[in-house]
Amino acid sequence: MPNTRSISKIVLALILVASVANAGSVIKIESGGGGGGGGAFTFIASANGADDTNDVDISTSTTLNVQAGDLLIGAVQWEDTDTTVSSFTDGGSTPNTLSFTTGDDVHSAGNEINLYPLVRTSAVTNSAATFTVTLGSARQFKKMVVLQFRPAGCPGACETVTRDVSGTREANGNSASILSGSFSTTGTDNVVCGIAGIYTGGVWSAQTLAGSASTDNASPSGITGWCRRVSSALSTQTASSTYSQTRFWAATVLSYKSE
């Protein structure tokens, strides 16, 4: 009868040899990303707010438990004439301030909707973060949303998050069907989000990115962020959504990769 202890030692030795032979290779095991997505990011939560009064401020109605290194994707919209976004922050002792990239704003016909996305790629800890947007001038019918994602390794040795999107992403219209301009990405661990604002209240549905249903959504009345975590580059894709009413709308797409 074979000596089982000797056989076990031989098998272990073969495993060690194979491990040494493949030392130069990296095998990446990813957790489920929702809808066939990448595993570098985890969707944590979202918060939103609405304020119809004619003033400069709007805040989220709930808090987020933000950890160091989190990715925060936010957006604010208002109706009628354009103005500037003076700040988008949680007001902490070391504030999480979201930044605007020039050219990311989208406006519907006649400035019925003015939509501004803002992002922070690496947050600081704030266990009870209430976000407030301050505009350059008073405006009515303001809405905002914040989506929170956590890169792999956070908190602690977080992966680095950078912007990764190109194409004519912005679009506007007057309908119940929202469709962004085309976009492309290069990364293999990405969060891709459609962002849209629409005139007056209603219900969002049928939200897709690159032909697949979104999995990480914040869709209060009038503004929405719908996202997917993806594990391959995307080329010349669109984001789409349906609204319960025909209204003026503005939409765009953002994407961030983790490395």
**Alpha helical stretches, state H, 126-219:** none
Whole domain around residue 113: which residue ranges? 41-258
Q: pTM (2 decimals)?
A: 0.85
How do strand 223-230 and strand 239-258 relate by DSSP bridges? Answer: unpaired
Q: Is residue 14 part of a domain?
A: no
Tell whether 5 is covered by a domain.
no
Residue 26 forms part of a structural domain: no
pLDDT tens, N- to C-terminus, the chain (259 residues): 444 444 444 333 433 333 333 333 332 323 333 333 446 899 999 999 999 999 999 999 999 999 999 999 999 999 989 999 999 999 999 999 999 999 999 999 888 899 999 999 999 999 999 999 999 999 999 999 999 999 999 988 999 999 999 999 999 999 999 999 999 999 999 999 999 999 987 899 999 999 999 999 999 989 999 999 999 999 999 999 999 999 999 999 999 999 9
Would you give the end-to-end CA distance of the chain in angstroms? 52
Evaluate whether residue 35 is within a structural domain: no
Sequence-distant (≥ 6) Cβ neighbours of residue 221 within 8 angstroms: 50, 143, 201, 202, 203
In a domain, 15, yes or no: no
The residue to which tokens 């066939």 are assigned: 36
Q: How many domains does the chain divide into?
A: 1
- CA distances for 121 relative to 46, 71, 151, 169, angstroms: 16, 5, 10, 20
DSSP strands (E only) in 52-189 = 55-59, 64-66, 71-79, 85-89, 106-107, 113-120, 126-129, 132-139, 142-151, 161-163, 171-179
Q: What is the CA radius of gyration of the chain?
A: 22
Q: Label each residue of 2-71 as H, E or C.
A: CCHHHHHHHHHHHHHHHHHHCCCCCCCCCCCCCCCCCCCEEEEEEEEEEECCCEEEEECCCCEEECCCCE
Number of H-type helices and E-type strands within the chain: 1, 18
- Determine, yes or no, domain membership for 80: yes
Q: Answer yes or no: is 198 within a domain.
A: yes
Q: Is residue 18 part of a domain?
A: no
